[in-house]
């Protein structure tokens, strides 16, 4: 079989990625959980047909994106604080790009109208020698994938 047969021949490591907000990288992230794209379905039973039930698509289920990075003052954290305190509620576009070994994007996820919904502080422990990591979770608007 050749690559033209539709079989993917390249695989890419999951540790080489860039996250940007409104087109500007804001921080180095240790982890990114991309949104799950899932559709609600409606069951429709057809009279006289007892062997299966039709599943019709309805709406896309709500999705979230989670980013983890080292604790510190950043525009990203200020955006979260401004939204929860009610000073200035803002939605932003988040872009996540998976990169190849030449640092060129091979796949990009565009998340429109995202806003922060959850912040988890670091686990502090004096017996461990690890970096303090915070987790930020965002509600997603429209999600598109570009290859």
CA 74-145-133 angle, 5° bins? 30
Task: Evaluate whether residue 5 is within a structural domain.
Answer: no
Task: Evaluate whether residue 1 is within a structural domain.
Answer: no
User: How far, in Å, CA of 139 to CA of 111, rounded?
Assistant: 9
At 105 the pLDDT is 92
User: How far, in Å, CA of 107 to CA of 27, rounded?
Assistant: 20
pLDDT, tens digit (0-9, with 9 covering 90-100), for 132-142: 888 999 999 99
Domain count, the chain: 1
pLDDT, tens digit (0-9, with 9 covering 90-100), for 10-66: 788 888 899 999 988 877 788 999 999 999 999 999 888 788 899 999 999 999 999
Residues 139 and 114 sit within 8 Å (Cβ to Cβ): yes
CA 78, chain centre distance (Å) = 19
Task: Evaluate whether residue 74 is within a structural domain.
Answer: yes
Q: What is the CATH number of the domain that holds 119?
A: 2.30.110.20
Q: Which domain range does residue 61 map to? A: 12-40+51-146
User: How far, in Å, CA of 137 to CA of 35, rounded?
Assistant: 10
Residues 68 and 138 sit within 8 Å (Cβ to Cβ): no
């Amino acid at each position: 079989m050749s690559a033209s047969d539709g079989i993917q021949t390249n695989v890419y490591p999951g540790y080489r990625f860039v996250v940007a907000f409104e087109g500007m990288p804001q921080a180095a992230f240790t982890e990114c959980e991309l949104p799950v794209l899932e559709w609600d379905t409606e069951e429709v039973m057809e009279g006289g047909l007892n062997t299966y039930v039709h599943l019709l698509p309805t709406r896309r289920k709500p999705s979230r994106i989670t980013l983890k990075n080292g604790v510190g003052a950043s525009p990203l954290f200020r955006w979260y604080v401004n939204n929860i305190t009610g000073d200035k509620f803002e939605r932003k576009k988040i872009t996540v790009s998976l990169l190849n070994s030449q640092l060129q994007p091979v796949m990009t996820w565009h998340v429109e109208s995202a806003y922060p919904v959850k912040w988890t502080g670091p686990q502090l422990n004096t017996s461990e020698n690890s970096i303090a990591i915070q987790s930020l979770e965002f509600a997603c608007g429209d999600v598109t994938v570009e290859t």
